[in-house]
């Protein structure tokens, strides 16, 4: 069941990444890969946001969690495109832009994942008191 969930959600994530990448176009010529960077930051935030929630809910089968995290978000974000775009910046002699892209992606991704996890624990995941009250 997990393979089916990952496959279906993965297809949706790839299509979502493709379409969002088309929308994130900077007017005029730009060598900086804004689209991939923004999409990867959104994916880091989403995974951070949903992980605490999935850890606490038990209503959905594990295949659904895996489908959303590994399938949807995993195919939405793209490390290989990030790596290739960095190599292309280096080949074009844009060392400063390549370094900025790597630093912004790495630290921005960590920051977005942490922010998402923090919000997920506070907003999406039920509080312990609420869970105890619901069982009473």
> What percent of the chain shows pLDDT beyond 90?
61
For residue 47, being part of any structural domain is answered with yes
For residue 136, being part of any structural domain is answered with no
Q: Are 50 and 69 in contact (CB under 8 A)?
A: yes
pLDDT at residue number 56: 79
For residue 8, being part of any structural domain is answered with yes
For residue 134, being part of any structural domain is answered with no
For residue 76, being part of any structural domain is answered with yes
For residue 55, being part of any structural domain is answered with yes
pLDDT at residue number 58: 72
* Structure-token match 């997920």, residue found: 120
pLDDT at residue number 126: 62
127: confidence class by pLDDT, cuts 50, 70, 90: low
Q: What length is written for the chain?
A: 136
For residue 104, being part of any structural domain is answered with yes
pLDDT at residue number 84: 93
* Interval 89-126: pLDDT, tens: 999 999 999 999 999 999 999 999 999 999 988 887 66
pLDDT at residue number 1: 87
Q: How far apart are CA 68 and CA 120, in angstroms?
A: 15
* Interval 10-62: pLDDT, tens: 999 999 999 998 898 777 777 888 889 999 999 999 999 998 888 777 788 88
> What percent of the chain shows pLDDT beyond 70?
91
For residue 123, being part of any structural domain is answered with yes
Domain count, the chain: 1
- DSSP one-letter string for 90-104: HHTT-HHHHHHHHHH
The first and second tokens of residue 50, run together, are 């949903």
pLDDT at residue number 128: 59
Domain containing 110 equals: 2-24+34-128
């Amino acid at each position: 069941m997990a393979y089916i969930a990952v496959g279906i959600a993965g297809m949706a994530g790839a299509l979502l990444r493709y379409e969002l990448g088309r929308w994130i176009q900077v007017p005029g010529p730009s060598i900086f890969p804004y689209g991939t960077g923004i999409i990867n930051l959104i994916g880091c935030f989403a995974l951070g946001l949903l992980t605490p929630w999935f850890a606490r809910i038990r209503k959905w089968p594990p295949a659904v969690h895996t489908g959303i995290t590994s399938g949807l978000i995993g195919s939405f974000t793209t490390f290989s495109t990030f790596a290739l775009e960095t190599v292309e910046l280096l080949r074009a002699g844009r060392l400063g832009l390549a370094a900025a892209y790597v630093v912004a992606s790495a630290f921005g991704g960590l920051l977005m994942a942490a922010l998402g996890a923090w919000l997920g624990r506070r907003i999406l995941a039920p509080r312990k008191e609420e869970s105890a009250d619901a069982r009473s």
